[in-house]
Amino acid sequence: MLQYAYDQSGQQKVHYVGHSLGTLIALAALSDQQQHVSMLRSAGLLSPIAFLNKVSSPLTLAAADVFLAEALYWLGIDEFDPTGTAVHGLLTDICKLPGVNCYDLMSSFTGDNCCLDNSSVQTFLAHEPQASSTKNMVHLAQMIRRGIIAKYDYGDASDNIKYYGQATPPAYNVSAIPDGFPLFLSSGGRDSLSDVQDVRRLEQALKSHDSDTLTVQYLADYAHADFVLAGNAKERVYGPLMAFFRLQDK
């Protein structure tokens, strides 16, 4: 996708912005495939997901603990679509029941979001979360249980050797991201998926970054969904992010 955007722009360097899984994708790519750095001016990472061993979301932890994704994978279900007719309809019906607050339902997954209203929650339920590869879910569960950023574990040494040339999947080294590459990290104090401790661990891994190329923003009252659905995200997140991008264009 990055190569396509780069080509369409006439091979002009572009800015990358990602939220949640979109930040993990960027961190993995930038640390493992240095050619991506040459196509980018900078990267903005909102609710950065890297290390996952401090995730506090009850729903996420339960799914990882019971090997839910692995069970689906073994059953031959290659795609898990939470917005499919059955699941989406069930969520919608639950939200209509007396005394049920979908704000709280979302909070159990994302953390206690500060700045959402009922209309934004309904918009979220109409479009999110998107479907994902079951294999991707397995991969995330592996990283939650092990507390490291690593490539997918095929569960068999011979298969890992086939893909990686070694019996265990190699770890991603985010410290390998060039120190001069501009990064904007924005995290929230109430985020149960991008936990404060995990984000601090990521920042520590990037400590050799040049001070003028690593911008860190911390919003104590923000949780995971606030970064994309908060009514004040334009002022609190997107404004500083765009200012950061413009600074890299000079």
Q: Catalogue the active-site residues.
A: 20, 191, 224
User: What is the distance between the alpha carbons of residues 201 and 52, in angstroms, rounded to a whole number?
Assistant: 10
Quick check: helix, strand or coil at residue 42? strand
* Backbone angles phi and psi of 217, in degrees to 5: -115, 130
User: What is the distance between the alpha carbons of residues 26 and 67, in angstroms, rounded to a whole number?
Assistant: 26
C-beta of residue 186 within 8 angstroms of C-beta of residue 46: yes
CB within 8 Å of 108: residues ≥ 6 apart: 57, 58, 59
Q: How far apart, in Å, are the Cα atoms of 221 and each of 172, 189, 249?
A: 30, 6, 31
Q: How many residues does the chain have?
A: 250
C-beta of residue 245 within 8 angstroms of C-beta of residue 44: yes
* Backbone angles phi and psi of 112, in degrees to 5: -80, 90
CA 180, 186, 191, 194: dihedral to nearest 10 degrees? -20
DSSP, res 235: I
- The residue behind tokens 């490291």 is 148
